[in-house]
Amino acid sequence: MSEEIGRPASSQGVIQVKGGGVIFFESDPWLFRGIGQNINFSFDDLAIGAELRGSIKKTLAWYLENHSLGHATNIYMRFRHFVKNWQASPREHITSADILNYRSILSDSTAWYLGTLGGFFKKIHRSGYPGVEKSVVDLLSQIIIKGNKKGEAVRTADPDIGAYTEIETQGLFRELKNKFYSKEISLKEYSLFSLFLAFGMRNIQYAQMKVCDIQYINGVDGADTYLVKIPKGKKRVIPRSSFLEMRLNPNAGALILEYANQVRSKFGSELQDIELLPLFPGKFTSEQVNAFRGHLTSVGIRNILNKIEKKLAVISERTGEVINISGVRFRRSIGTRAVEEGHGLLTVAALLDHEDTQNVGVYVEATSTMIDKIDKAVAFKLAPMAQAFKGKLIAGPSQASRADDPSSLIRSSRFDSTCKPMGNCGEFGFCNLMAPISCYTCSNFEPWLDGPHEKVLDFLLGERERLSAKGDTRIAAVNDQTILAVSQVILICNKQLGFANE
């Protein structure tokens, strides 16, 4: 539909929302449960006259029919903020003075509000609706409106909203695994968080996913392959009309597929075709768009992330505080890592589901979020903040959870020629991870007070320096979380033994 065509809502009294569903034009407020997002647009409480209100509603109706709910909601919220600053009685016209007054109250971080409103006001005027003077359009075309600063968090490696460091990413992954196996994290939470860690897509994309998007393929070579189909986002197309197809790690893929099957079993009676059940269900109501009944909104996905953040409570080595978890931080992390690994802008754009490369150049400009060099001094400094060690220090084998089980001893000739144990494993089960390196970040590890932990640390630091010298900086950082965990164990041991830390 051409941008200048957009009057079906005013003539027919019904707004055909893009993606499916309708809103009755004359109703107030406009309430709608949409695809990944709900709206609640109230007009009667705005300080605007009837004629201007009609122009606002007709133009918003066009946006609802031709753009995403998120875009229409953004315009509505910016207009509410604009009107909130009027002190006079209800107005019928927006003037140049209103634009200048509004611009004066905006800060550097909110200057982009006027840019959003500018397009909205120009659309009202071009459509021939009353309420926006030509002088307003002329002024908006002349003044320079600062846009939302894209990529600032990535460029500055912001510790609260920017990309995660390698240590933070490792910490999140390991704590997810630990909390899942201790049943503090549900399979639903594990599945959603694993998808964020792996692909960093937008909340709305995960909100649109269905159980059929998780697929198992038995390869010709006998290997298990798990695929995930993620609906493309930020595209001016019908939702779920195109997908990104990605491979899942076999371990995570098996668990996410198990979760999808659980959804089928639990909610199978809600829809005729169980394959169309939402992967992350919310409430099933008749007010929702039929094709997306039961789907969470993007806010619902964010709420799950907030709960996971509290459960994981991973400490950042940069701030000494719990890591802030958000979907956008995963996107920034994946983009940053892709560039650090040498991928070009087109590849990064594809990974992040961008239509072009104009917004991915910031990752090239970004400074690496990894710590370039870690030695003992740095490790001992970061370790108390990172809190990477999750186990329990014990004086010796007699205090171990499995004191009578010789197989619980953790030892390796790589670190001590006498094979002196580093500690015990408190888990009654087989662990297929490489001991003892993987043990230090495991909650079941029980290191001994007099274990050869310094030798483990020296080995890990030596390996990191060797790989860094070869230029394999990302590979070199793989064990950074473990380095901090071993360092923390040494600090605790030295404190109990009364030794000073070097």
**What average pLDDT does range 161-183 have in this prediction?**
87
Residue 466: its pLDDT value, please? 84
Residue 82: its pLDDT value, please? 92
Helix axes 166-181, 187-199, angle to 10 degrees: 160
| Percent of the chain whose predicted confidence (pLDDT) is above 70 | 81
Instruction: Say which range, 68-77, 98-107, 195-204, 358-367, has the weakest mean pLDDT.
Output: 358-367
Pairing of strands 224-231, 214-218: antiparallel
Residues 208-258 pLDDT 10s: 999 999 999 876 566 778 999 999 876 555 778 888 888 888 889 999 999
CA distance 158 to 160: 6
Instruction: Say which range, 172-186, 211-225, 301-315, has the weakest mean pLDDT.
Output: 211-225
Cα 389 → chain centroid:
25
CA distance 414 to 437: 11
CA distance 367 to 371: 11
Pairing of strands 243-248, 224-231: antiparallel
Mean pLDDT over the full length of the chain: 82
Residue 219: its pLDDT value, please? 62
CA distance 74 to 435: 51
Q: Is the pLDDT at 356 greater than 90, yes or no?
A: no
Alpha-carbon Rg for the chain, nearest whole angstrom, is: 28
What band does 463 get if pLDDT is binned at 50, 70 and 90? Answer: confident
Q: Is the pLDDT at 331 greater than 90, yes or no?
A: no
Sign for the pseudo-dihedral over CA of 472, 354, 276, 306: positive
Residue 359: its pLDDT value, please? 59
CA distance 153 to 336: 11
CA distance 55 to 59: 6
Residue 369: its pLDDT value, please? 44
Burial of 30 (0-12, 13-18, 19+ CB in 10 A): buried
Give which of 393, 343, 382, 383 is closest to 363, Cα–Cα: 343
What band does 166 get if pLDDT is binned at 50, 70 and 90? Answer: confident
What band does 368 get if pLDDT is binned at 50, 70 and 90? Answer: very low
Residue 309: its pLDDT value, please? 93
Are 244 and 353 in contact by the 8 Å Cβ rule? The answer is yes
What band does 474 get if pLDDT is binned at 50, 70 and 90? Answer: low
Give which of 156, 151, 161 is closest to 361, Cα–Cα: 151
Residue 417: its pLDDT value, please? 79
Residue 303: its pLDDT value, please? 93
Q: Which residue has the tokens 């905006």?
A: 106
What band does 345 get if pLDDT is binned at 50, 70 and 90? Answer: low
Residues 1-46 pLDDT 10s: 334 444 444 445 889 887 778 888 988 899 887 766 788 899 988 8
Burial of 267 (0-12, 13-18, 19+ CB in 10 A): middle
Residue 142: its pLDDT value, please? 84
Domain 181-305 has CATH 3.40.1790.10: no
What band does 453 get if pLDDT is binned at 50, 70 and 90? Answer: very high
Are 267 and 277 in contact by the 8 Å Cβ rule? The answer is yes
Residue 264: its pLDDT value, please? 96
Q: Which helix (H) or strand (E) holds 437?
A: none
Q: Is the pLDDT at 141 greater than 90, yes or no?
A: no
CA distance 99 to 133: 11
Instruction: Look up residue 96 and give its amino acid.
Output: S
Are 37 and 204 in contact by the 8 Å Cβ rule? The answer is yes
Q: Which residue has the tokens 């201007």?
A: 52
Residue 342: its pLDDT value, please? 58
Residue 11: its pLDDT value, please? 46
DSSP-derived letter for residue 325 is -
User: Measured between alpha carbons, how far apart are the two ends of the chain, in Å?
Assistant: 70
Are 453 and 493 in contact by the 8 Å Cβ rule? The answer is yes
Residue 3: its pLDDT value, please? 43
What band does 78 get if pLDDT is binned at 50, 70 and 90? Answer: very high
CA distance 209 to 205: 7
Both tokens assigned to 329: 């931080």
What band does 380 get if pLDDT is binned at 50, 70 and 90? Answer: confident
Domain boundaries, the chain: 8-142, 150-165+316-370, 181-305, 376-497
CA distance 23 to 28: 10
Both tokens assigned to 132: 């926006």
